[in-house]
Amino acid sequence: MLRSLQIEPEKCTGCLQCEMACSYQAEGVFNPSKSRIKIFTFHDEGRFVPYTCTQCTEAWCLHACPVEAIVINEATGAKEVIDDICVGCKVCTIACPFGTVNYNQETAVVQKCDLCGGDPECAKACPTQAITYVDSDHSGLERMRAHAAQNLPQDNA
């Protein structure tokens, strides 16, 4: 059964433990700027929003790659960058409309979330369960319900 990262921003406290865990897993250093998951801060509203690749079905990055350096991991469904094949042309970074593939100038290849091969560190590091790794069929259900409720006529809501 495919699993996905479920992100519930309302539970995020902005502690950045996910960024630290991701950076350590992916690059071997504790450096949030190397993280594949990012916390965006909304100071005015006092909100924090974790955001990373949704492993979208459309896979814009994969289709834009000229050298087949982005492939689907059949076990996890993740779109993974093969560093040895990536030439660093960056076409995927402008093709991904979610902005979740980034070029790393130090390694000269692109980087994106690969779900840590099926055991995502960000979800394990999150102390408030703002990031969980759940059955794909269930991710986003609460938000869909809330969104649907918002769109109901006022007197029925």
CB 59 within 8 A of CB 72: yes
- Compute the least distance from the CB of residue 95 to other proteins, in Å: 5
Indicate whether 51 belongs to the interface with other proteins (CB under 8 A).
yes
User: Other C-beta atoms within 10 Å of 95: how many?
Assistant: 15
Show the tokens assigned to 102. Answer: 């980034």
Interface positions, 126-155, toward other proteins (CB under 8 A): 142-143, 145-147, 149-150
Q: Quick check: 15 binds other proteins (CB under 8 A)?
A: no
Stretch that binds other proteins, among 19-27, 61-69, 120-128, 131-139 (CB under 8 A): 61-69
Residue with structure tokens 């433990």?
17
Q: 13, 29, 31, 42: which one contacts other proteins (CB under 8 A)?
A: 42
Q: Which two tokens stand for residue 70?
A: 């982005």
CB of 119 to other proteins, least distance (A): 25
State how far the Cα of 116 lies from the Cα of 63, in Å rounded to an integer. 22
